Structure 1
């Protein structure tokens, strides 16, 4: 028993759409988990040296 021509076309269309979806999602996952390629300078952690504006957030020490 073989599928008709229209049924084969539908199956082929669904298969191609699924393959494109997997490729699209795979590219997104690859980009998310790829090594960082930002060109920011390595400055490290910078200490906060400012004043606290709100009196209720100051420590009572």
Structure 2
């Protein structure tokens, strides 16, 4: 734990660990939606956006070069 703290990683994230960073090695399991650990649940975000009339796919970046195909 001291080495993890010394890495500085826990100072730059909510909850003092990230499941995809150095702290991930200390996580033995996640109850519920793993997206909720990283931030907001992506399925929940998609539903909230739909309630506002925004399609999830509207947020996708356009193809490189600006084409539509």
Fold-level similarity (TM above 0.5): no
TM-score, normalization by structure 1: 0.30
- Larger Rg belongs to: 1
Relative contact order: is structure 1 or structure 2 higher (C-alpha 8 Å, sep ≥ 6)? 2
